[in-house]
């Protein structure tokens, strides 16, 4: 229970910080990286069932941090990455990680994408090992130590 309480506290703090930061760097790379991260979280166990996809899409559309982007564009990009992951998980994962990796030269934006992954992953109250693994992979892609996020 202590881990969950700690995670809830950290995600609340991250949400507040991200709301400020994302407005400063609203751009296509951040939107794409965020949707690639969300799709990776939805598919973290190797599959995306329709309910999981629907719930993640609902979280995206209701997330204050992502509200700076056009919802229809986010949905389109999220669905695109989900379709890639569903069709061929390994290839889709490589593509999603590569998209996130494009933020390596923009460390603040890369951190924002990582934080979005943590928030989405923990939104259901269970930030499981598969979801943590997906976030770790994203950390490595952008050159940020997972330990920075207690992963």
Residue 148 DSSP label: G
Q: Are 39 and 96 spatial neighbours (Cβ–Cβ below 8 Å)?
A: yes
User: Residue 85: is its pLDDT beyond 90?
Assistant: yes
Contact between residue 140 and residue 146 where contact means Cβ atoms under 8 Å apart? yes
- Structure confidence at residue 20 as a pLDDT band (50, 70, 90): low
* Residue 145: band (very low, low, confident or very high) from pLDDT cuts 50, 70, 90: very high
Residue reference for tokens 């991200």: 18
Total count of residues recorded for the chain: 151
| Helix 89-101, helix 28-42: angle, nearest 10 | 150
The pTM score is 0.82
Is the Cα dihedral 124, 125, 126, 132 positive or negative?
positive
Domain residues of the chain, as ranges?
2-149
* Predicted confidence (pLDDT) per residue in 32-84, tens digit: 999 999 999 999 988 888 888 888 888 888 877 788 888 889 999 999 999 99
**What are the pLDDT digits (tens) for 101-126?**
999 999 988 998 998 899 888 877 78
* Residue pair 109/25 in contact by the 8 Å Cβ criterion: yes
- The backbone torsions φ and ψ at residue 125, rounded to the nearest 5 degrees and listed phi first, read 85, 5
What pLDDT is attached to residue 8?
52
Q: How far apart are the first and last CA of the chain?
A: 17
Distances (CA, A) of 130 to 13, 95, 127: 23, 18, 8
Position 52 scores a pLDDT of 80
The predicted structure's pLDDT at residue 1: 45
Yes or no: say if 39 and 82 are a contact pair by the CB < 8 Å rule.
yes
């Amino acid at each position: 229970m202590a881990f969950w309480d700690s995670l809830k506290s950290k995600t609340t703090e991250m949400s507040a910080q991200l709301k400020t930061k994302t407005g400063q760097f609203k751009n296509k790379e951040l939107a794409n990286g965020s949707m690639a991260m969300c799709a990776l979280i939805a598919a973290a166990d190797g599959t995306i069932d329709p309910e999981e996809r629907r719930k993640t899409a609902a979280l995206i559309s209701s997330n204050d941090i992502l509200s700076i982007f056009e919802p229809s564009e986010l949905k389109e990009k999220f669905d695109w990455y989900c379709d890639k992951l569903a069709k061929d998980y390994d290839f889709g994962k490589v593509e999603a990680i590569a998209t996130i990796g494009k933020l390596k030269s923009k460390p603040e934006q890369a951190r924002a994408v990582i934080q979005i992954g943590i928030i989405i992953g923990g939104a259901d109250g269970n930030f499981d090992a598969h979801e943590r693994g997906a976030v770790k992979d994203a950390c490595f892609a952008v050159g940020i130590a997972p330990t920075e996020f207690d992963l």
